[in-house]
Amino acid sequence: MKLKPEADARKNALEIVKKAVRVILVFIAIFIIWEIISYCRIIDPFYISKPSLFLMDLWSLFKTGYIYKHIYVTMYETGLGLITGVATGLIAGIILAYYKNVYDIFAPIFASINAMPRIAIAPIFILWFGIGVLSKIALIWTTVFFIVFYNTFFGVKNVNENLVNAIIVMGANRKQIIRLVILPSVISWLLASMRPSVAMALVGSIVGEMLASSEGLGWILIYATGLFNVTRLFSILILLAIIGVALDYCVRAMENKFLKWRPS
């Protein structure tokens, strides 16, 4: 294998193409079966629409430019919710892992909030922050914060003590210990929390928009449901699936980039 690296690369590329083709074929098959079921009225198309219809609808949503604003709003909420949740969760995780007395105060509070079904907090957020983006960001924050907080907390607690001792002996102060050992080892735990965080952030923005809003993909879903527009529902669901997969792909790419130092 060492003799022909270029042949190896070509073989890998071929594998990836093969895999992609297989996935696409599976989806095409599902859509064809779906189309037939709908066309032959085995199930009433009123409930399940038709792939030909919702794919055309999705196309027109982009062509007319109607969808861009809503994608932007949903992504804006998801993004800001993620950033605030990750930043605060990271800081809180480090502080609580480091300072026992702060932990004793906050740990039970965090545990009880985390035990609550987060969606139950949504009405009070709408009351406080209105139906705009702020209430959604707050809702996302409550989910992402805890995922990141607990991962960071256990990450700090699991820091290799030998590494810490080694740099203490070199004369490192507390700040340097955090920067040189704790943060880098926590990053691997943090990255592990990123995939569920991103997924939960998307859920948070959509659910928030469905409860009360005037824009965003979640709002389109509720609006279309009100009009019994099943075709529109499916076009948005397909769009959300694509967005979800794309975000997940980005997170995994980030993981691979930052965890290069790990033995594979």
Partner 1 sequence: MYINIKDLSVTYRSSRGDVEALKDINISIESGKFVSIIGPSGCGKSTLLKVIAGLVKPTRGEVWINGEKLEGVPRNIGFVFQEDTLLPWRDVVGNVELGLEIRGIEKDKRRKRALELIKMAGLEGFEHKMPHELSGGMRQRVALIRTLAYDPEIVLMDEPFGALDAQTRVILQDELLKIWQETKKTIIFVTHDLGEAITLSEVIVLLTRRPGTIKRVCNVPIPYPRSALNVRLSNEFTEIFNDLWRDLREEVVKVKVHETKAGG
Residues that bind partner 1 (CB under 8 A): 162-163, 165-172, 176, 180-181, 184-185, 260-263
Which residue, 26 or 166, has its beta carbon nearer to partner 1?
Answer: 166
What is the DSSP secondary-structure string of the chain? -TT-HHHHHHHHHHHHHHHHHHHHHHHHHHHHHHHHHHHTTSS-HHHH--HHHHHHHHHHHHHTTHHHHHHHHHHHHHHHHHHHHHHHHHHHHHHHHH-HHHHHHHHHHHHHHHHS-GGGGHHHHHHHH-SSHHHHHHHHHHHHHHHHHHHHHHHHHTS-HHHHHHHHHTT--HHHHIIIIIHHHHHHHHHHHHHHHHHHHHHHHHHHHHHS-SSSHHHHHHHHHHTT-HHHHHHHHHHHHHHHHHHHHHHHHHHHHHTTTS--
Which residue, 177 or 238, has its beta carbon nearer to partner 1?
Answer: 177
Question: 149 is written with which tokens?
Answer: 């907080």
Shortest distance, position 167 Cβ to partner 1, whole Å: 7
Determine the longest span between alpha carbons in the chain, in angstroms: 77
Which residue, 120 or 169, has its beta carbon nearer to partner 1?
Answer: 169
Shortest distance, position 53 Cβ to partner 1, whole Å: 52
Shortest distance, position 99 Cβ to partner 1, whole Å: 20
Shortest distance, position 225 Cβ to partner 1, whole Å: 49
Residue appearing with tokens 């696409």: 24
Which residue, 41 or 257, has its beta carbon nearer to partner 1?
Answer: 257
Which residue, 28 or 259, has its beta carbon nearer to partner 1?
Answer: 259
- The torsion region of residue 229 among left (phi > 0), alpha (psi -120 to 50) and beta comes to beta
Does residue 211 contact residue 140 with C-beta atoms inside 8 Å? no
Shortest distance, position 168 Cβ to partner 1, whole Å: 6
Which residue, 90 or 181, has its beta carbon nearer to partner 1?
Answer: 181
Shortest distance, position 164 Cβ to partner 1, whole Å: 9
C-alpha 227: how far from chain center: 29
Shortest distance, position 261 Cβ to partner 1, whole Å: 4
Which residue, 31 or 258, has its beta carbon nearer to partner 1?
Answer: 258
